[in-house]
Structure 1
């Protein structure tokens, strides 16, 4: 059985990874919604950038613009 002091590493790693994933998700969503507001009347590859589109549509457009 491990002492509580040794278990900190096991708790810390998933917490840090979760934080990184959460921050990346929030960062990506911020970019997507900003793209939608700035370019709401424009299109990329025939697809609207209007910010009322569902988030998964923004993600597709965001990935297309990163290439």
Structure 2
């Protein structure tokens, strides 16, 4: 089975979003990091939900399926 790195990419996007938020808090809101985080929030969470959802669906046990 080919590894696609969807979950790892999703984690990296969420970490990047968290880094923008922490940087904005750390600098007191004097940078444009908040604006970038606002732009990045929907793609990051959307990709993460899709990646983890597809992973969970692929691992869901089905009756009659051989291991």
Normalising by structure 2, we get a TM-score of: 0.43
Q: Which has the higher contact order (CA 8 A, sep 6+)?
A: 2
Structure of larger gyration radius: 1
* Higher strand residue share: 1
